[in-house]
Amino acid sequence: MNIGYACLTVGVLDTKLKTCSLKNASNEHLISLIGSNLDSLNNMLSYNIKNGIKLFRISSDIIPFGSHEVNNVRWWEIFSEQLKNIGNKAKENKIRLSMHPGQYTVLNSPDKLVVERAIKDLQYHEKFLSSLNLGKESKIILHIGGVYGDKSNAIKRFIKQYHLLDENIRNRLVIENDDRQYTIKDVLSIGESEGIPVVFDNLHNEVNSDNTHSQFEWINLCRKTWKIEDGVQKIHYSQQAYDKRVGSHSSTLDVEKFINFYKNLLYDDIDIMVEVKDKNLSAIKCINAIDAPKIQNLEKEWTRYKYLVLEHSPRIYNEIRQLLKLKDSYPVSTFYKLIDEALEIPVSSGNAVNAAQHVWGYVSKLADEKTCQIFKRSLEKVNQGGSINTIKRQIWKLVISQKQEYLLDSLYFI
């Protein structure tokens, strides 16, 4: 079983994707952005390799305006060597890559122009995955689209347009249930009749449900649509955000809920894409929750979280320190529950100053007198109710210039 995340890597240096406005999308500028984004993708893969993450969804924004007529850059030729190297890196490390066009890529629209744009977008996504020289197991996930007052005819239009797609797109395409229009039963009927693999999304099923089967029975039925050449079955897993509209992804994952979901799966050979705001952070949470119990995994996590937790709650900071002293146990649920609890607590100026002073200790010995004086004045402003962000930026610059490895991975700065 592999667990992965989508598009962006949180708290990792040099992984940000760049874009531009339409009016600034000159060929020269686009080439510069594409080169930068491919470097970022390469860095994301390095992070995933380091952390044992074998599943990753590439953002559609990797090539700015990838399917728009403004972009006539032959990026697949200009960056062919870099693309090939990225693909080889993924394959050598057994990282499965995928892509997921956005909500405006609608094959079953009655508007021909919308369908034409959707086809161009699918062509772009397929070209990018093929430029990485990836096999059919690297998929493009797509929703069925709209209903337009007549679901039966809308499904017929989707099927018709699907069969008009190039074979190389059809070989990659998989379909997913959504949170408003098409239930898993609807999508599965299309997948079964047309030979299209189906991705089950648990939160979409909760919001737009079909209760003729349990979610785990639906997952098992979807499994039968995946052929050997499609790779291992994929599903999407997310949790409802408590304070957002129904169907919104949570900011982080509750590990206990994920463990309960995992325990009820009928088999282990399945890939789980977690869809959550904190991306890789929750992916690692879930990996640690079901992986072989090693206290070292939690200790490694603690090095990333500790000063962020300290900033929110010194009490919980000390609780976690005591928890990790129990070397013969593996308190993974308690560990993450305490972190989640801490991050819900508002940061007070006193706690902000306390945490900043701890982190400052790593860089202060190599800082010049002027920098030290600026830090002291900034601390005074925070004590008077000012923002801690200025101090964080000051320390972060020193962390980078001094190459403080221990702090480069710290989530304190995000």
**Domain ranges within the chain, ordered by starting residue:** 2-290, 295-343, 349-413
Helix (H) or strand (E) holding 168: helix 167-170
Model pLDDT, residue 387: 87
Q: Which of 366, 271, 220 is nearest to 57 (CA)?
A: 271
106 token code pair: 């609608």
How far apart are the C-alpha atoms of 249 and 8, rounded to whole Å?
15
DSSP letter, residue 229: G
Model pLDDT, residue 386: 83
Burial label for 13, CB within 10 Å (0-12, 13-18, 19+), is: middle
Model pLDDT, residue 246: 86
Question: Who's near 140: CB < 8 A, 6+ residues apart?
Answer: 98, 99, 100, 101, 122, 125, 126, 129, 169, 172, 173, 174
Model pLDDT, residue 245: 87
Question: Who's near 17: CB < 8 A, 6+ residues apart?
Answer: 8, 37, 40, 59, 61, 62
Model pLDDT, residue 327: 84
Q: How far is CA 321 from the centre of its chain?
A: 29
CATH architecture of 2-290: Alpha-Beta Barrel (3.20)
Burial label for 18, CB within 10 Å (0-12, 13-18, 19+), is: middle
Model pLDDT, residue 101: 95
3-state SS assignment for residue 235: strand
DSSP letter, residue 144: -
Residues in a beta bridge with 249: 240
Give residue 160's identity as a one-letter amino acid code.
Answer: K
3-state SS assignment for residue 232: coil
Helices (H), 63-132: 75-78, 80-92, 112-131
Helix 112-131 and helix 151-164: axis angle, to 10°?
40
Give residue 263's identity as a one-letter amino acid code.
Answer: K
**How many angstroms separate the Cα of 105 from the Cα of each of 98, 101, 146, 360?**
16, 6, 11, 48
3-state SS assignment for residue 110: coil
Sign of CA dihedral 224, 227, 228, 232: negative
162-168: which pairs have CB atoms within 8 A and are 24 or more residues apart? 162/107, 162/194, 162/196, 163/194, 165/119, 165/122, 166/123, 166/126, 168/126, 168/130
Provide, for the chain, the percentages of residues in helix, strand and coil under a 3-state DSSP scheme, each rounded to the nearest 5: 55, 10, 35
How far apart are the C-alpha atoms of 372 and 100, rounded to whole Å?
47
Model pLDDT, residue 298: 95
Return phi, psi of residue 8, to 5°. -120, 150
Q: What residues of the chain score a pLDDT lower than 70?
A: none
Sign of CA dihedral 168, 74, 42, 308: negative
Helix (H) or strand (E) holding 140: strand 140-143
How far apart are the C-alpha atoms of 122 and 97, rounded to whole Å?
16
Q: Which of 242, 247, 180, 183 is nearest to 215 (CA)?
A: 183
Question: Who's near 126: CB < 8 A, 6+ residues apart?
Answer: 140, 166, 168, 169, 172
Q: Which of 170, 196, 169, 168 is nearest to 182 (CA)?
A: 196
